[in-house]
A and B are shown apart, each in its own frame.
Chain A
Amino acid sequence: MIGILVDVTRCIGCRECVAACVNANRLGKNIPLPQHSADGLSSQRWVSVISRPGERYVRKSCLHCLEPACVSACPVGAMQKTPAGPVVYDASLCMGCRYCMMACPYGVPRYDWDHLVPYVRKCTLCYSRLKEGKLPACVEACPTQALAFGQRSELLSQAHRLIRSEPMKFVQTVYGEHEAGGTLILYISDIPLDWLGYHVAPGPTPLPDYTALAMSLVAPTSLGVMALMAGTWWVIQRRMKLMGARADSSEGETQ
């Protein structure tokens, strides 16, 4: 599992990562309007830099969950979790139901609303560049080493080392270690990052677990209902036949 460690304290908000992402993924020019996007992400902006009070800049993109809700939600397997870690999207399978957009706890997947043939768009962690042995475009472009690329486990221990070394400066948690079951993008920061989720900070339970129980009950329920209905039909039908027979016989007795 690969990953990116974001050090919020190092980010100067220069948006070179955004520009690099736009170039690498051949995205369009349009800046999303505030009435279409609160966090600056859109189908043409897969990474954005959010300004926070006190000259803090926080990068937001797909966090590439370890157990992604979008992959679990997708009815056709267009959203896929690759073995290396990045969550990628296969446009040829998508039917455009947009359940992935509903399911994502960060509200990351965006839609090509202005296109006649719309697809879901989001960061792929530059999966095609990774396969060529290159770094993700944003990591390569960052002038201040605020983004570190590597194996997730190593980045995690590095993050813990960093926040422990300066306990006065850093918030003492690594964002992304446990959120929604853990993500590939990890943050260390001197400001709280609870607002990074879609509405509230996601808890530690992976979202696919929420529907797993319901899905496991599908087969038993259907068989159970069928058996119950067939049984009811048989019992009632038999009772009615018996009652009819008894009525006949009692009629016969009275005669």
Chain B
Amino acid sequence: MSQRKATIVKDFLWACTAAGFVAIILRFAYGLGATTGLSDTTPWGFWIGFDLLGGVALAAGGFTIAAAVYIFHLESYRPLLRSAILTAFLGYLSVIFALLCDLGLPWHIWKPMVNWQPHSVMFEVAWCVMLYTTVLSLEFAPVVLEHPWFRLPIFRAVLTLLKRLTLPLVILGIALSTLHQSSLGSLFLIVPYRLHPLWYSPIQPILFFVSAVALGLLTVTLEAFVSAYLYDHELPHGLLAGLGKVAAIVLWVYLALRIGDLIFRKLILAPFNGSWQGVLFLIELGLGALIPAILLSIPRVRRSPIGLGTSAILGVSGIILNRLSVSVIAQYRPPETAYFPSLSELLISLGVLSAIGLVFLFIVETFNVFGAPEKHELDQSVSSPVSYAFQDDLWRNHILRRSFVVVLVIAATFALLPSQIVEGRMMPSTEVRSAVGGDILWIDGNRNEEGVRFEHQKHIERQRQQATNEETACAVCHHLSKPGDQATPCWECHRDMYLPTSIFDHTFHQQALGGNVSCSECHIGEHIADSAVGCNECHETMASKESTTVKFNYAARGYVDALHDQCVSCHKREATAQNKENLPRCPTCHRAEGAPPGVRRLLSLSNP
């Protein structure tokens, strides 16, 4: 029965890993811009907030439990030690993995090792990650080396050496963790003008450290719940209640520091001013710290699995929300450049976590992590040939099913990710609206009120004076007229502000020329775009011969490009001819005064 629960969970994790795998490939194939929601105003997003800051804080259980067992000689917590250290180690691995996705040039990740910058907080963070991951791997290595696989004397020698080094390693680990947890907070000391004052704090390093200790303890608690559920272990109630008590104390310290800091900076009333930041702050501190602190302080609640589990979940999500707020949500950015994590950012986070989860389950099932003796029974059952064959078939069954799931998920992810991720970033389309007015036209295609006041009448008069033939005067600018029209306005063909748009209606032409048999009217040979004849083969008079700038084409350029080209080329000519050097410069047409009042009224009518 227990086997089945773990199998279902593992199937699910495999599916998530597969989805994340696709997203990672696309991220490296098409770059950060195409696959993430990051921008110049949000250089750090979900990966930094959740995977990096959250992951490191989640891993704090490793050093707290190690300190309890080795330094404070609280031997009763030893059963939790190995899984806590394993979680910390895998947590750091997932952090490094997410970081590799987030860095623009991940192949330069080793540069901080050779190019020392002791003034940079990020430099310290980089070194701490490297050193502490090494220390954690050494702390966990004995568990792996105890396995019968490593029977060779050399492994035994290493094992003995590592066991002798345990205490120095633990002390080094605690020092590195203290530095690292706090220096992640120090990262945000340099952003006083960017981070909302409710989160910007001069004691950020201390806040980060204290909350990480609480988070680490609660994570160890949650993890005990999960493994007890998956493998039908008995929940170590007494131990977890003890952890809960310590976590409550740490949470109270954290709350006191946080509120004291606000009082000291005279901001204690700021959360209640009704802004969304205030609400976020209250949710984060209330649901994520205050309520779990109260719940865990009540002995009856922390001894019941439900009470303990609830407060652990609340506390963990609250402190992770704090990391996200500090690094992403509460950072100021101009409203037009809002950030939301893209699907591939979320998928990569999910995939990395799931992969780490699978590694965790593998290690737990293979090595003696929980200190339980059932390992040997399993070994005996495997040694009989019948059960060996059975195991093999079971394994093959898993492979069959999981490979099918993985294929399906990869295909679905590949298909469902928005096409901009698969095909690269494209400019969003911006519809062009018509110019308004009569003798004076207000040209403002995207209606952002940064348009051009165009003196249509004056241009017509000037053109009439210069043109040899009065009839073609209009055609200097109105270079292409639709059938039955004399002067088709710009926006009828240049329909997008920035992107080229097609002005050819294929279905219309196909129907008009006689359905299925009409292909050969335009296409010579195959029915592909390349084989079609030019528009002017049939529409001989549609394109003006007076126009200097424009070729007759299936695609019309973006509105901005087309108009700039049309106006500026003529203005440049006239600037030298009339010796008016300011004529081709931007403010000649783009003036700050905006639309004429009459036009403004028209606009307000046409834009409900």
Interaction A to B: yes
Task: Pick the residue among A33, A208, A210, A226 that contacts B428 (CB under 8 A).
Answer: A33
In the complex, how many angstroms separate the beta carbon of B475 from the nearest chain A beta carbon? Answer: 29
Contact string, A205-245, partner B, CB cutoff 8 A, digits 1/0? 00110111011001001110110011011001100100000
Residues A14 and B582 in contact, CB atoms below 8 Å apart: yes
In the complex, how many angstroms separate the beta carbon of A176 from the nearest chain B beta carbon? Answer: 16
Task: Pick the residue among B112, B175, B205, B428 that contacts A75 (CB under 8 A).
Answer: B112
Given the known A-B contacts A74-B120, A240-B73, are A230 and B171 also in contact in the complex, defined by CB atoms under 8 Å?
Answer: yes
The residues of B that contact A223 with a CB separation of less than 8 Å are 175
Place the interface of chain A in its size category.
35 or more
Q: Which of B187-231 contact A (CB under 8 A)?
A: 187, 189-194, 202, 205
A118 at interface, CB cutoff 8 A:
yes
Residues A54 and B592 in contact, CB atoms below 8 Å apart: yes
Residues B592 and A55 in contact, CB atoms below 8 Å apart: yes
Given the known A-B contacts A199-B193, A215-B186, A229-B67, are A74 and B591 also in contact in the complex, defined by CB atoms under 8 Å?
Answer: no
Task: Pick the residue among B119, B172, B592 that contacts A51 (CB under 8 A).
Answer: B592
Residues A236 and B71 in contact, CB atoms below 8 Å apart: yes
Interface segment out of the listed B29-37, B155-163, B366-374, B462-470: B29-37
Residues B582 and A76 in contact, CB atoms below 8 Å apart: no
B2 at interface, CB cutoff 8 A:
no
Contact string, A47-86, partner B, CB cutoff 8 A, digits 1/0? 0000111111100000000000100111111000000000
Q: How far is the CA of A69 from the CA of B172 in the complex (A)?
A: 31
In the complex, how many angstroms separate the beta carbon of B182 from the nearest chain A beta carbon? Answer: 8
The residues of B that contact A103 with a CB separation of less than 8 Å are 190-191
Q: How far is the CA of A200 from the CA of B195 in the complex (A)?
A: 11
Task: Pick the residue among A52, A105, A119 that contacts B193 (CB under 8 A).
Answer: A105
Task: Pick the residue among A55, A74, A116 that contacts B587 (CB under 8 A).
Answer: A55
A127 at interface, CB cutoff 8 A:
no
Given the known A-B contacts A77-B115, A94-B108, A95-B106, are A36 and B122 also in contact in the complex, defined by CB atoms under 8 Å?
Answer: no
Q: How far is the CA of A197 from the CA of B191 in the complex (A)?
A: 12
The residues of A that contact B32 with a CB separation of less than 8 Å are 111, 113, 118
Q: How many residues of B contact A (CB 8 A)?
A: 80
The residues of B that contact A56 with a CB separation of less than 8 Å are 592
Which of A117, A143, A211 counts the most chain B CB atoms within 10 A?
A211
Q: Which of A90-105 contact B (CB under 8 A)?
A: 93-99, 101-103, 105
Q: How far is the CA of A236 from the CA of B593 in the complex (A)?
A: 78
The residues of A that contact B364 with a CB separation of less than 8 Å are none
Contact string, A124-142, partner B, CB cutoff 8 A, digits 1/0? 0000000000000000000
Given the known A-B contacts A12-B585, A198-B194, are A102 and B43 also in contact in the complex, defined by CB atoms under 8 Å?
Answer: yes
B57 at interface, CB cutoff 8 A:
no
In the complex, how many angstroms separate the beta carbon of B561 from the nearest chain A beta carbon? Answer: 10
Contact string, B266-292, partner A, CB cutoff 8 A, digits 1/0? 000000000000000000000000000
Closest to A199 in B: B332
The residues of A that contact B103 with a CB separation of less than 8 Å are 95-97
Given the known A-B contacts A114-B31, A214-B189, A225-B178, are A34 and B336 also in contact in the complex, defined by CB atoms under 8 Å?
Answer: yes
B123 at interface, CB cutoff 8 A:
yes
In the complex, how many angstroms separate the beta carbon of B303 from the nearest chain A beta carbon? Answer: 27
Given the known A-B contacts A93-B115, A95-B105, A117-B105, are A210 and B192 also in contact in the complex, defined by CB atoms under 8 Å?
Answer: yes
* B residues lining the A interface (CB < 8 Å): 28-34, 38-41, 43-44, 67, 70-73, 103-106, 108-109, 111-112, 115, 117-126, 167, 170-172, 174-176, 178-179, 182-183, 186-187, 189-194, 202, 205, 331-332, 334, 336-337, 424-425, 427-428, 448, 450, 498, 560, 581-582, 585-587, 590-593
In the assembled complex, 16 residue pairs joining A and B whose CB atoms fall closer than 8 Å, in A order, are: A14-B582, A35-B336, A73-B122, A74-B120, A75-B117, A76-B112, A93-B111, A95-B111, A96-B103, A96-B108, A101-B43, A115-B31, A116-B29, A116-B30, A229-B171, A240-B73
The 6 tightest CB contacts between A and B, nearest first, are A96-B104, A113-B33, A75-B122, A95-B108, A38-B334, A98-B43
Q: A114-B424, A118-B31 are in contact. List 6 more A-B contacts (CB 8 A).
A: A13-B587, A38-B41, A73-B190, A95-B111, A107-B41, A113-B33
